[in-house]
Structure 1
């Protein structure tokens, strides 16, 4: 009996000592990050001979742990996304940075100049306000570019941290496997804690899934299926590459077994902080930079185009007010050595420019293809433009080289490229910070109309020339020189009705030498757009570069003159056209064909839409962050309810185990007493 009591007492003391050690370890590590509460359990020995084998294990619910990782990924994603979005939202919500205010100030100054076109100071204000607007564009675009660089720096740092965590997890797997699973050499529980902590930390950066292997290793995969940590301690690492643009960092997975094998990861679904950075760049930063460049180019090109249709204070045809930048195409590493492409805006075609990047592919010696790219960088093949060059490459190509006349407002110069060469074109990326003024002379603001229409005093009718419209002042495609009309002024004579031609009304147009340039015929007495109705092709409107209408009722033989507007200093007709650009639909929304939908904004509408999208993205990010933070807090409490250390519970266990330890010690004392009694009985 004494022998049994001794055995029972010994196992009881050892068991309770182990329970006290486990409880004490829990209390000691209550503030240790990643520590999982431990519990020791025992089984009874057979035949009532005390306590049997004891096992210490971590209290972890696998489902709760996976839920915690998932919610950690979501919360890290929304928090990082919101932090980046807040920066851009604060930039554009500040009234002092408003591009809309700058544009409105410019058009207000143009209107002031229209009120008194003879005042040089008013025109100088137009030049000064234009320069201020360019400075605003440059400042905003530079700040966005700086944020893009900051995003890349964060990506570099995060990828380095992720690779470190991946290698740590692989090392932990190796260490755990080396212990085996036998009871004689159990895996240290703190090693499992460290591995789980590393996996949870990894979940902050990317969305991951884990699988338990038979050997005790944790296999880690991305949510999209790519392996990060596999069996036998092997792992794959992240890397960043920008191809062809080094600033557009693309995430790749590099195989440890073969560094030459790189898997490019889809930007969608990466999750975590890295996913937030890539998504934010693709969804917000890049589109805003392109839209800002599109707005700047459209405004500048539209004003250039209209200014060239007017007359300056010096009495000459207007020229460009702004100098538009060109951009170099980004060449892929597989291109031929000397392949080069540059892209610029075709003058007067900015209304066809969508807020997209483009892919240029050289098909063969005579054919190239231009395809707009979506926000993710994928080609929108339905809107590709094919260009055939009978003279081959190199060459300069614009809207005249495509069947529908819509090359997205671009002018391409392709040099030394061969079949298979590809380029990414980003004409908008640096446009807002690269534009410059083409002149600083106030006299170059062309407020006057270049033509003057008049009637002859001897006319019998009351016909008048109205609505003179200028379409081109290019000496190569119109009747204009820099300061006159070729063989002008022109005489317009109303011939009356021609009974031989279905009673049509006929006007003849002659030059200063009496040479007839053409006739215009009307079936009614509505004499709008006289030159457009000229007989023959092309019409006189296309060859002369202007048109006009005649109002009232002219009589046969009445004549009218169209002359160059010499000394037209007090004229603001072209200035009014410049002012009208403020509300005109000039900015293309997307690369969809014109007419398929409402596809153009005004300048202010374009800017308001851009700012509204930034605000909406920020609001969505704020809502998602609040929701994900609340869910993570709830999941953490759920996880901690089992795996976290509860001081009240541990204190109660400590008292209970102390009492059971003392009781076990009493068993040993009782055993000693019984043994002594037996010895005395046999003396």
Structure 2
């Protein structure tokens, strides 16, 4: 009996000592990051001979742990996204950086110049304000490019940290398998804590899933299914220069033990901090950079176009005020040739330019396709097919497409071969690459180049109104730099045709050569030159048109002459000022020409800034929600796995008492044994 009681007391003392050790360890590690509360349990020995084998285990709820990792990923994603969005939002919300203010100032100075066209100082203000606006575009675009470079630097740092964590998890797996290979070497519980801590830290950077292998290893996968940690192996995450744009970052997985095993990763759905960086780049930074470049090009090209339709203070036709940049297509490394592609904006067609990048593919020896890309770099359904009768090299413009819409691009395609591919990014650096083409105040063309007059001998009250200049290019119009070819032109009203009942106007040049007749079915004499026989009509061949108002009498004569000495004329200046509210910015690569697909300059900028603010607001809301959810998940997880001092203190008292009771059993056993010895003496 004493022997049994001794064994019972001994096992009880050892068991309670172990319980006290477990409780003391919990209390000691209450402030240790990643420590999981431990619990020791025992089974009763057979036949009532004391306490049996004890087991110390970690208190972990697998469901709570997975939820904690998932919510950590979401909270890290929204926090990183918000941090990046706040930078761009602060940049565009600052009134000092407002492009809209710069554009409004420019058009205000144009209006001031229109009020007194003879003042050279007013025109100089137009030039100065134009340069200031270019400086604003340059500054904003450069800051966006700097942020993109900062994203790349963060991406490189995060990828390095991910690789370190993957290596740690794989190393912990190997140690755990080694410890757990025999019953005499159980796995140290702190090793499991460290592995779980590394996995939780990894979930900040990527969305991950885990599986338990039969050997005790934790297999880690990305949310999209790609393996990161496999049995006895690991992958390294690589951040590579983009293809074909080196500024971009591509993600790839490479097996550590065999570099030939690689997995290309999509830029979407990565999750965590790295996913936030890639999504923010694709959803905000790149679109904003493109939209800023589109706005700059549309504004500059429209002003160039209109300025060339007017007369300068020197009495010559206007020229470009802004110099538009030329971009080089980015060739894929797999291209069969070393051919090049240059892309620029076709003069007068920037209003056809959508805020997209483009993919140029060489189909055969004569054919290329140009396809608009979406924000993720994927081809859209908006594509143009271009054919060169002479092969390559070749130059393509809007005239080479069936619908005269080549997205506003002019392409210079070099010696390319079939299967060559290029990414075209005409907008990416446009806002910081534009320059002034002229700094001379005299070159602001405020005057209209034509003057319409009526003869004093006319019997009717007809007048020339609405002179509209369409082209001043000597190759496609009647204009030279300072005169009209064979001008002035004379328009003589012939009266009403007795057979057709049409109202007839005869148009002749300075040598009285008949150029054509304009015929009207009604007495609404609008667009006189467009009503001549064609094609081409006189409107198309001369490059201008006009209306006749009032009631002319047969024999009345009108003249259209070059506007020599038109210093006090502001008709073209008014057309330049009207550009402020014109719909000249294309919203998307969808079919061109619909009203819903066209913006004014201010509408385009307001939409861009509004999108930035909306993205930031959404990120702020998501960050608040995800952090609240993470807090709940952490409390749920900690409710079981965290150390509670009150509970541990209660256990400590209870185990102290049971330890003292177990010691009494040993003392009782000793007393009984001593009594038995005395009885047999």
**Taking structure 2 as the reference length, what is the TM-score of the superposition?**
0.99
Which residue of 2 is the match for residue 442 of structure 1?
441
The alignment partner of 2:259 has SS state of coil
Q: Deviation at 1:364?
A: 1.1
Instruction: Structure 2 unaligned segments of length 5 or more: list them.
Output: none
Which residue of 1 is the match for residue 231 of structure 2?
231
Moved more, 246-255 or 623-632: 246-255
Residues 1:270 and 2:270 aligned together: yes
Contact between 1:170 and 1:235, CA under 8 Å: does it hold in 2?
A: no
Q: Deviation at 1:396?
A: 1.1
Q: Deviation at 1:233?
A: 3.1
- String of CA shifts for 1:170-223, please: whole Å, max 9, x gaps: 111111111226532211111111110111001000101111111111111111
Residues 1:546 and 2:544 aligned together: yes
- String of CA shifts for 1:301-321, please: whole Å, max 9, x gaps: 000000000000000000000
Task: Choose from 603, 606, 624 the match for 1:605.
Answer: 603
Residues 1:421 and 2:420 aligned together: yes
* Aligned residue runs from structure 1 range 160-179, under 5 A: 160-179=160-179
Contact between 1:173 and 1:233, CA under 8 Å: does it hold in 2?
A: no
Residues 1:90 and 2:90 aligned together: yes
Which residue of 1 is the match for residue 399 of structure 2?
400
Contact between 1:89 and 1:614, CA under 8 Å: does it hold in 2?
A: yes
- String of CA shifts for 1:301-348, please: whole Å, max 9, x gaps: 000000000000000000000000011111100113521111100000
Moved more, 554-563 or 239-248: 239-248
* Aligned residue runs from structure 1 range 245-264, under 5 A: 245-264=245-264
Which residue of 1 is the match for residue 466 of structure 2?
467
Which residue of 1 is the match for residue 657 of structure 2?
659
* Aligned residue runs from structure 1 range 124-203, under 5 A: 124-180=124-180, 182-203=182-203
The alignment partner of 1:260 has SS state of strand
Provide the C-alpha distance between the structure 1 equivalents of 2:354 and 2:555, rounded to a whole number of angstroms: 51
Provide the C-alpha distance between the structure 2 equivalents of 1:507 and 1:394, rounded to a whole number of angstroms: 48
Which residue of 2 is the match for residue 295 of structure 1?
295
Provide the C-alpha distance between the structure 2 equivalents of 1:126 and 1:260, rounded to a whole number of angstroms: 61
Instruction: Structure 1 unaligned segments of length 5 or more: list them.
Output: none
Contact between 2:155 and 2:239, CA under 8 Å: does it hold in 1?
A: no
Moved more, 413-422 or 253-262: 253-262
Q: Deviation at 1:596?
A: 5.4
- String of CA shifts for 1:614-642, please: whole Å, max 9, x gaps: 00000000000000000000100010000
Which residue of 1 is the match for residue 577 of structure 2?
579
The alignment partner of 1:557 has SS state of coil
The alignment partner of 2:371 has SS state of strand
- String of CA shifts for 1:465-524, please: whole Å, max 9, x gaps: 000000000011100000000011111111111123x11111111111111111111111
Q: Deviation at 1:264?
A: 1.9
Contact between 1:293 and 1:432, CA under 8 Å: does it hold in 2?
A: yes
The structure-2 alpha-carbon separation of the partners of 1:49 and 1:642, relative to structure 1 and needing over 3 Å to count, comes to same
Q: Deviation at 1:269?
A: 1.1
The structure-2 alpha-carbon separation of the partners of 1:104 and 1:118, relative to structure 1 and needing over 3 Å to count, comes to same
Task: Choose from 648, 651, 658 the match for 1:650.
Answer: 648
* Aligned residue runs from structure 1 range 612-631, under 5 A: 612-631=610-629
Contact between 1:325 and 1:435, CA under 8 Å: does it hold in 2?
A: yes
Which residue of 2 is the match for residue 506 of structure 1?
504
- String of CA shifts for 1:35-55, please: whole Å, max 9, x gaps: 100000001101111110000
Contact between 1:237 and 1:256, CA under 8 Å: does it hold in 2?
A: no
Provide the C-alpha distance between the structure 2 equivalents of 1:187 and 1:318, rounded to a whole number of angstroms: 84
Contact between 1:237 and 1:255, CA under 8 Å: does it hold in 2?
A: no
Superposition RMSD in Å: 1.0
Contact between 1:8 and 1:50, CA under 8 Å: does it hold in 2?
A: yes
The alignment partner of 1:499 has SS state of coil
Give the number of aligned pairs: 681
Q: Deviation at 1:651?
A: 1.0
Provide the C-alpha distance between the structure 1 equivalents of 2:168 and 2:542, rounded to a whole number of angstroms: 77
Provide the C-alpha distance between the structure 2 equivalents of 1:251 and 1:304, rounded to a whole number of angstroms: 43
Provide the C-alpha distance between the structure 2 equivalents of 1:257 and 1:428, rounded to a whole number of angstroms: 42
**Taking structure 1 as the reference length, what is the TM-score of the superposition?**
0.99
The structure-2 alpha-carbon separation of the partners of 1:298 and 1:521, relative to structure 1 and needing over 3 Å to count, comes to same
Q: Deviation at 1:257?
A: 4.5
Q: Deviation at 1:228?
A: 0.9
Q: Deviation at 1:114?
A: 0.2
Moved more, 95-104 or 223-232: 223-232
Contact between 2:235 and 2:254, CA under 8 Å: does it hold in 1?
A: no
Q: Deviation at 1:678?
A: 0.9
Which residue of 1 is the match for residue 217 of structure 2?
217
Contact between 1:71 and 1:628, CA under 8 Å: does it hold in 2?
A: yes
Q: Deviation at 1:415?
A: 0.8
Provide the C-alpha distance between the structure 1 equivalents of 2:510 and 2:564, rounded to a whole number of angstroms: 16
The alignment partner of 1:220 has SS state of strand
Contact between 1:239 and 1:254, CA under 8 Å: does it hold in 2?
A: no
